[in-house]
Amino acid sequence: MKPSARLVVILLASTQALASACHIHDHYSDVIDVCGYYPADPIYGSLTPECRKRLMEVIEYNEDSWEDAPPGLQDAVTAAFQALIGYPLAKPPGNKVFSLAPADAGAFPLDFYRIFEEWPDLNQSIFNYVLNQFDTIKYEPPNELNEHFGAEATIAFSYNLRQMTIFDGFYEGPDPVFSYNNFIRAGSLVHEARHGDGITHEPCDERAEKYDGVFECDADFLGPHGLETAYLGFLLHGSGVSRFGEPRLLTESQIRSIGRAMCRNIKMFILNPFDEVAELLKDVDCDEIDAEWVIQHEGLLQ
């Protein structure tokens, strides 16, 4: 996902404190009976009254802060949580990204499979993971510091704070080149949650273009960009594959957007991707790849 809707972390506690303070609860089982549907609107999401009510009960919104939010923004966040449930996930064959992996390992760290396999269902695992990382989600009005971001993670256990802050950029995103939609927002939530494991960004280099020198990049796939990329890959293989003669759940436009997000994450914001995928993307313009390219390179032709 583009860092113009990216996340900033303020970390004021040790990794051990982060881990010990996590509150594990199966929120998925609290909502699946009314929220386990495929959203009709892929851009803004689709919240039934029953699902919206149930999600509002399990998502810890700071309601006072949301009184100042623009119309529709809180529903966009809530719909992104529903997307974590409603878009089926599946593991990429061979633990690969764009059908590639290092010769001696999988593309994604084994730690990611701990996250995705903590509960019996992949969607259940990622939904619970995101919700269990934060105690509150608040809204912050625009200012000169947050105008280029969609959200921010503040992890400060010394102040008993595990907070996600949502900015206006979460809704549409300030980058007109990038298709910003419901499942990209869901990927943003996953990215944000990874910061809750005590992982911060590092300074970018020239590959990140206008973010050169900005703390928006990750050393490798272990960071938030890597987990977000893994989630999007799982999404492609769960909802972007035709099985038993049934049409794909994702449209070609959606597949293209997901593929572009994965490409940008790897090429621009992961400083040390493995050699095979770095070579593949070396001469690729991520904003120009189409659905056919994604289908071919992710092996979605089934």
pLDDT of residue 42: 61
Task: Assign 3-class secondary structure to the chain.
Answer: CCHHHECCEEECCCHHHHHHHCCCCCHHHHHHHHHCCCCCCCCCCCCCHHHHHHHHHHCCECHHHHCCCCCCHHHHHHHHHHHHHHCCCCCCHHHCECCECCCCCCCCCHHHHHHHCCCCCHHHHHHHHHHHCCCEEEECCCCCCCCCECEEEEEEHHHCEEEEEECHHHCCCCCCCCCCCHHHHHHHHHHHHHHCCCCCCEEECHHHHHHECCEEEECCCCCHHHHHHHHHHHHHHHHCCCCCCCCCCCCHHHHHHHHHHHHHHHHHHECCCCHHHHHHHCCCCHHHCCHHHHHHHHCCCC
According to the per-residue pLDDT averaged within each range, which of 46-60, 131-145, 165-179 is highest? 46-60
pLDDT of residue 269: 96
pLDDT of residue 145: 72
Mean residue pLDDT across the chain: 86
Q: Tens of pLDDT along 186-214?
A: 999 999 999 989 899 999 999 988 889 99
Q: Where are the domains of the chain?
A: 3-298
pLDDT band for 219, please (50, 70, 90 cuts): very high
pLDDT of residue 14: 40
pLDDT of residue 16: 38
Q: Tens of pLDDT along 50-69?
A: 999 999 999 999 999 999 99
Q: Which residue has the higher pLDDT, 232 or 210?
A: 232
pLDDT band for 169, please (50, 70, 90 cuts): confident
pLDDT band for 11, please (50, 70, 90 cuts): very low
Average confidence (pLDDT) over 282-302: 92
pLDDT of residue 58: 97
Residue 161 has pLDDT above 90, yes or no: no
pLDDT of residue 227: 97
Query: Among the listed ranges 11-25, 130-144, 235-249, 261-275, which one has the minimum average pLDDT value?
Result: 11-25
Residue 36 has pLDDT above 90, yes or no: yes
Average confidence (pLDDT) over 219-241: 96
Average confidence (pLDDT) over 103-109: 89
Q: Which residue has the higher pLDDT, 139 or 46?
A: 139
